[in-house]
Amino acid sequence: MKPLVMIVEDEAALVTVLRYNLEKEGYRVCEAMDGEEALTVFAESNPDLVLLDWMLPALSGIEVCRQLRRKPGVREVPIVMLTARGEEADKVRGLNTGADDYITKPFSVPELLARVKAHLRRVQPSQPKGVLEYDTVTMDLGAHRVTRAGRHVHLGPTEFRLLRFLMQNPGSVFSREALLNAVWGPDIYVEPRTVDVHIRRLRKALNTEGEVDLIRTVRAAGYALDASVTA
């Protein structure tokens, strides 16, 4: 999903400019016009990054930043302060309160977008080294480890790749041919029925404790990872 950027700014014209440019870059945007609203919108929308004006009605940007940083889990969300003040002392104060960055108004839009992108990249590293999660299944791609509800799941290399592909595309239905292409590669010839064999092994490994089957068989179509349908 596209990252959600929260704009906290009481100057309507600036909000419009920021929203327009962020959306053009492909971000989703939510906004708050004062400090108290910022705390409410943050709690409701759970944004991936906050652009936070310093001079705000109701509650200053510094106070909003301090309160956000006190909440559990908010430590990781980048907060970029926007301010008309350019003094070094203020900058230090902002960073001490827990802001990650500081942009002085008037700022250039390309520079602001570059900073937003850099901060999001820092907190959302690209998938291959990360961890995939679906329902109670966790796949650590770096360590090549799979667990279900904390229990270690033993998978052969093909089942591992199959599960990885399904976890990267949860909810989508794939034909046997599509799975062969994605998991075995287009140049390898195997019978489409081979997919059934590996799906069966994967199910067996995932469901040793009699858990809900997460893999849905779609008649005449193929397979999907889908926790909403119990087999």
Phi, psi of 153 (to 5 degrees): -110, 125
Give 133's strand partners.
Answer: 138
* C-alpha 68, offset from chain centre: 19
Piece in contact with Ca ion (CB under 5 A), picked from 5-13, 64-72, 133-141, 191-199: 5-13
Q: Does 74 bind Ca ion (CB under 5 A)?
A: no
- CB atoms under 10 Å from CB of 96, counted, come to 11
Phi, psi of 71 (to 5 degrees): -75, 140
Q: Does 10 bind Ca ion (CB under 5 A)?
A: yes
Size of the site for Ca ion (CB under 5 A): 3
Piece in contact with Ca ion (CB under 5 A), picked from 9-17, 98-106, 129-137, 156-164: 9-17
Which CB, 48 or 53, lies closer to Ca ion?
Answer: 53
Shortest distance in whole angstroms from residue 66 CB to Ca ion: 17
HSE-CB at 5 with a 13 A cutoff on CA atoms is 25
Shortest distance in whole angstroms from residue 7 CB to Ca ion: 11
Q: Which residues within the stretch 17-56 sit at the binding site for Ca ion (CB under 5 A)?
A: 53, 55
As a whole number of Å, the end-to-end CA separation of the chain is: 28
- For Ca ion, the binding residues (CB under 5 A) are 10, 53, 55
